Structure 1
Amino acid sequence: MIAHLAIWTRDLERMRAFYETYFGATASPLYHNPVKQFRSYFLSFGTGCQLELMHRPDIPDDAADALKQRTGLIHFALSVGSPERVDELTSRLKTDGFTWVDGPRTTGDGYYESVVLDPENNRIEITV
């Protein structure tokens, strides 16, 4: 079982607010290690895998193009419970100015999903 995934972020508070607002995440108390200038939140989505958002000022930006496929971890999927909710959330994110990549659609292997980018261009599959 995967316990958590982690994302280095430039704007820790903006990313925390995004996942709380659109996906109902609950954030742990802020962890701060002043010696390493490290801050993080663990986000819970009810049960299962958590998402750790991390910030340290010396971590460089990733120059990868978020709209192109590449090797390495490329996306994670968040289940929202129904096709209608996938449609509603995709529409809301597009209206709120976030980048829409694909869908909603039923994939060849039967998943109903859309793909959007979070505020720092991480791919999220929104699925049932």
Structure 2
Amino acid sequence: MSRITNLLTLTLAAISLDASARTSTLADCTHLDSDHPQKAKRYLMCLDSNIELLERDRQAWINKLIMDTEELEKDTGNTQLMPIIKRSLLSQSRYMEDSCKWRYLKELPNSTSAAKVYKRCKISFLQHHTTELKANF
């Protein structure tokens, strides 16, 4: 059984390192920022690709946390940790979504400006949350 655990741990480590490498290659979208509709569309698509990379990286760290916690539960019998972790992940996702949503709504009726604000907000939250997930307090 420990052979399977070691294999899973190594696989997760490889996934996490791969995700971290992708995160370091976020596109610099600033040169695309414009109020012109066609240029703004390219800017938003660039931000979307960065969001996708960051979400994958964040999910890899969440998966690692869940697997590490399952292993800890198995070793110690402590089942109190997992529900709290899952609740905190759900709360963080809701907070991120609501925080970015009110920023979006504040920019309306200019939907292009609102979309830019929303996506930059999401990028910032994803980066911050991933940093927290990586930290071993």
TM range (shorter): under 0.3
Q: TM-score by structure 2 length?
A: 0.25
Larger proportion of strand: 1
State the structure with more CA Rg: 2
More RCO (CA 8 Å, sep 6+): 2
Q: TM-score by structure 1 length?
A: 0.26
